[in-house]
């Protein structure tokens, strides 16, 4: 028998101590607090470690272990928390387009996101897209620009699918495309296995972290640390030069206690002397 979800522990982890109910203000508050408190990170696939999606493992890793995770972990955890509050939540799957050239073939459904149905309408929630974290739920409305604290987003038609676009200095950029077809745990297990193990998936060969913190978007790609402002303008971009500095950045900026030493991780992408 599955244990009840530890909602109080989750809310403490993301820094919410106010009462919660199944309404839009609570959804918005939890979404923003989650991405501020829990970093997106792909340390486990980068280190060749398994990525487990059962709630007990996610609770141990993210709630108790001072870790983050990528989309399947983050949104599985968020889904469980929202359902414990009383929200109606449907898991969806998306095909990532962020780094894809225009007109290139669609890839597999390698991303998890959530549909939240409220009395006033339906919303997209996603705390696990580590190329451009979404900091607020978005109404499932087409062709409407939504300005959040950390960006501007819209949903558009994409050949019968829905595209999530983010406004960048150079213009609109598609994060991913999706449909409203519900996904099942087995769908996520298959996609997670591919994402965590395939040489064609970025997380196996590249370390990616992102966190929204104090009005800035911090991103770590191997040892390159980029900081962006609300409008995605780069305000700092530099290479981390030592394992010691790398460990400090993981700790102080991303709030991560890694599963291996900073020295071991750094050796995987630092050039040989």
Pair of tokens at residue 60 = 């141990």
Is 111 among the catalytic positions? yes
d(CA 184, CA 213): 32
- Which residue among the candidates 44, 126, 135, 165 is catalytic per the annotation? 126
Is 44 among the catalytic positions? no
Residue 268: helix, strand or coil by DSSP? coil
First to last CA, the chain: 54
Strands (E), 49-105: 88-96
211-215 contact pairs (CB < 8 A, 24+): 211/35, 211/36, 211/39, 211/40, 211/68, 211/133, 211/253, 211/254, 211/255, 212/35, 212/36, 212/133, 212/135, 212/150, 213/36, 213/253, 215/149, 215/150
In contact, 162 and 176? CB cutoff 8 Å: no
d(CA 73, CA 167): 26
- Which residue among the candidates 31, 34, 44, 71 is catalytic per the annotation? 71
Which of 112, 125, 111, 120 has the alpha carbon at shortest distance from 32?
Answer: 125
Which of 14, 12, 62 has the alpha carbon at shortest distance from 37?
Answer: 14
Residue 60: helix, strand or coil by DSSP? helix
- The conformational region for residue 99 under phi > 0 = left, psi -120 to 50 = alpha, else beta, is alpha
- Which residue among the candidates 31, 34, 44, 111 is catalytic per the annotation? 111
Is 71 among the catalytic positions? yes
In contact, 180 and 92? CB cutoff 8 Å: yes
Q: Give the active site residues.
A: 71, 111, 126
């Amino acid at each position: 028998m599955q244990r009840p979800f530890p909602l109080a522990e989750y809310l403490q982890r993301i820094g919410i101590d106010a009462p919660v109910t199944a309404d839009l203000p609570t959804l918005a508050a939890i979404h923003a607090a989650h991405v501020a408190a829990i970093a997106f990170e792909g340390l486990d696939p980068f280190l060749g470690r398994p990525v487990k999606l059962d709630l007990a493992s996610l609770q141990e890793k993210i709630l108790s272990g001072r870790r983050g995770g990528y989309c399947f972990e983050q949104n599985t955890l968020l889904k469980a928390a929202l359902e414990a509050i009383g929200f109606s939540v449907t898991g969806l799957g998306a095909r990532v387009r962020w780094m894809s050239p225009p007109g290139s073939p669609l890839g597999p459904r390698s991303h998890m996101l959530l549909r939240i149905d409220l009395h006033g309408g339906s919303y997209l929630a996603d705390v696990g897209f580590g190329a451009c974290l979404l900091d607020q739920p978005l109404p499932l409305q087409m062709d409407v620009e939504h300005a959040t604290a950390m960006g501007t987003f819209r949903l558009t038609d994409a050949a019968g699918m829905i595209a999530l676009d983010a406004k960048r200095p150079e213009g609109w950029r598609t994060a991913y495309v999706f449909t409203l077809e519900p996904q099942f745990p087995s769908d996520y297990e298959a996609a997670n296995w591919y994402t965590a193990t395939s040489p064609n998936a970025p997380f196996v060969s590249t370390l990616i972290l992102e966190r929204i913190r104090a009005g800035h978007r911090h991103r770590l790609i191997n040892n390159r640390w980029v900081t962006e402002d609300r409008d995605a303008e780069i305000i700092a971009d530099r290479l981390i030069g030592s394992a010691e500095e790398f460990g400090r950045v993981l700790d102080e900026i991303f709030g991560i206690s890694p599963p291996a030493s900073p020295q071991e991780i750094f050796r995987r992408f630092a050039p040989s002397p």
